[in-house]
Amino acid sequence: MLYPTDTVYAIGCDLTVRSAVEQVRQIKRMSSDKPLTFLCSSLSNIATYAHVSDAGYRLIKRLIPGPYTFLLPATKLVPRLVMAPKRKTTGIRVPDHAICQALLRALENPLVSTSASTVFGQSGARVSKPELFDQLDKLVDIIIDDDSTVGFQVSTMLDLTGEEPILLRKGLGFEAVSGLVAEAESEQSMV
């Protein structure tokens, strides 16, 4: 499906439906060694799909819901088709968007989420909603339109696989993250 998030319009599907995940990869022209991010409904839901350290837990709790992607070590419940195969990591978000949360409740499973605008080339491509809908209409089973404008800013991405959080990408919400990352680093150095 094509659906709005708190960052961009995304192409996605139920994480547990292999054929749908393969279809998302085909639409995006992504090889199977490229990881896919997925949405979870809450922090407890994240803990089902990723190993979260105590420091990571505290940081995530302060940022979600919101425009943040967390790179975390995957649990065995994450399908290989969506994780980074060599590192066994996964990108997870908890969106601050009513439609995303409603979809997560209805599916009762995480939702694959990859930027739809990158179908047209580079990330952050400026594509109007009519162009986006026209281009993807025959490629997706459903399009959800919430009458909002198409967003072009990606999520801020944090790597929480190590001792200290590492900023991988500046995006929406970066200002809130910069202070929290410095705080987490100073807490870690006191240990």
pLDDT digit string (tens) for 149-165?
878 889 999 999 998 99
Q: Which of 82-86, 95-99, 185-189 has the highest average model confidence (pLDDT)? A: 95-99
> In one letter, which amino acid is 148?
S
What pLDDT is recorded for position 190? 58
Q: Is the pLDDT of residue 186 over 90?
A: no
The dihedral sign for the CA sequence 70, 71, 77, 81: positive
pLDDT, tens digit, for every residue of 97-152?
999 999 999 999 999 999 997 676 545 457 788 988 999 999 999 999 988 887 88
How far apart CA 102 and CA 124 sit, in angstroms, is 26
> In one letter, which amino acid is 166?
I
CATH numeric code, 2-190: 3.90.870.10
Q: Is the pLDDT of residue 84 over 90?
A: no
DSSP assignments along 40-101, one per residue: -SSHHHHHHHB---HHHHHHHHHH-SSSEEEEEEB-TTS-TTTSBTTTTEEEEE----HHHH
How far apart CA 45 and CA 109 sit, in angstroms, is 9
pTM for the whole thing? Answer: 0.89
Residue 18 near residue 79, CB atoms below 8 Å: yes
